[in-house]
Structures are given as structure tokens and as C-alpha cells.
Amino acid sequence: MSVSDRLEALNITLPQLTAPVAAFEPFVRSGNLLFLSGHVAKINGKPWVGQLSQQLSTAEGASAARTVAIDLLGTLKGRSGTSTESAA
């Protein structure tokens, strides 16, 4: 099963790569390595803030972490120059 097929089976749509906001780059390439940074969890398009067990439940924290992971995968796909067709 390809990565694309697995994401589709999980009903995950990767976001499009967006232009950086402020003075940071969401990725830096060094040779065949791609370093990702500057990604934050968002809810309804706004940063999702809070501290676990204070403002966020464990389930909300897990959901926030999932949104960041999906965003990171979208950036990776958008800037790696490869498709998600081959299984890793």
C-alpha cells in the first residue's frame, strides 16, 4: 500500500504548502536532508494554545499533535520534490 493510499484510507488530506509568515522558513534543505520547523497546531485557522491538564485535556492534546503531524507531512510532501506514491 502506498503512502497516498494509506492516508486516503485514514481520511487524511494533506494541506497545501503555504508561504511562510513572519521571519521563519518552514523548511531548510541540506543535501538530501529536509529540516522542518515553525509548525503549530491550529484549530479553526488559529493557533491552538494551552497546557495539558490545565487548559487542554489529553484527548485535545493528542488532537493538537495530530494536526501538527499532518501539517508537517504536507510540508514534507510539498518541498521534498517526491510524491507519496512509493511506500516507505
pLDDT one digit per residue (tens) for the chain, 88 residues: 888 899 999 999 998 877 777 777 788 888 888 888 888 888 888 888 888 889 889 999 899 899 899 988 988 888 765 544 443 4
Residue 55 one-letter amino acid: Q
Structural domains of the chain, with CATH? 3-80 (3.30.1330.40)
Is this structure's pTM higher than 0.85? no
9 contacts: CB under 8 Å, gap ≥ 6: 1
Residue 64, C-beta contacts closer than 8 angstroms, at least 6 positions apart: 41, 43, 48, 56
